[in-house]
Amino acid sequence: MKVGIIGAGMVGATAGFALVMRGTASEVVLVDIDGARARAEAEDIAHAIPFAASTIVRAGDYDDLAGAGVIILACGVSQKPGETRLALLERNAEVFGAVIAHVMAVCPDAILLVASNPVDLMTQITTRVSGLPPGRVIGSGTILDTARFRWLVGRHLGISPGSLHGYVLGEHGDSEVLAWSGARAGSVPLDSFAAQVAAPLTEDVRARIDNGVRRAAYTIIEGKGATWFGIGAGLARIVAAIAGDERAVLSVSVVEPDVLGVADVALSLPRLVGRDGVSATLWPDLSDDERGALRDSAALLRDRLAPLQHP
């Protein structure tokens, strides 16, 4: 599958590198307003090809995206000092409006994969601007938060994160919901498994893991300025599910018509991801507290988007 990446910053470039190392894409095209940056990143990634799968990696313009099955949107503007969240959203919406118009003119059948933050709001804006069905506009959502959750729980229990099944739901941000009640280790409920391996999930342990998931980005940003490895790998995982028509269950963000009474909001739930994008939303069993927190997360996202004038 040919994959286009709009935005050759650290997230876009790392996603391209991850695609090459996984052998997911037959071709990767990097497009950026800074053509020299795109060319440099493409060449740097291409030098890894002898150690990985044979993938064509190059920089290009919008016309070079023709035939791409997935377009990763990792573009946008940075927040200016003193700028409000709404003002930043308005500027990013303007950028996305221009980018999406170019993309849709060249590859109208592509699935759009949104990586730019705030990802849930940008996913909703992209859906409206593109006119595509919600299942073909996918935000990376909480795929990274879910990975952090599984990694931290796995470290506590002393098992591989790949053996854990649990999700972070809602906003990719402070209101996200760790769905403890439905989490499993293998097929065993998490509390039961923890008791069997003498690693109980006490309230203190849960609070530490919750904080570790919820505050991870802040810790990384404080140390090095931004996050890119985890989300780059997450984007490559989503592309792999599409390219292989896996119908994999991933926590990604798409516009949902109703979330516990909150209408028309993009947020993350477990979803089936395959060749046509998202084909189904899966509603996990949640505790009353988790359902309330998910409803609050949906309402928060709705309220943040309401004042924005969409292009």
Q: Looking at 102, 156, 172, 310, which residue is catalytic?
A: 172
250/128 Cα distance (integer angstroms): 23
Cα 276 → chain centroid: 17
In the chain, what is the greatest distance between 2 CA atoms, to the nearest angstrom?
58
Which has the closest alpha carbon to 228: 17, 3, 56?
17
268/278 Cα distance (integer angstroms): 12
The total of other beta-carbon atoms located within 10 Å of residue 33's CB is 12
The residue assigned the tokens 């709009």 is 6
Cα-based torsion angle of the residue sequence 181, 184, 190, 195 in order, rounded to the nearest 10 degrees: 160
310 is catalytic: no
Catalytic residues: 172
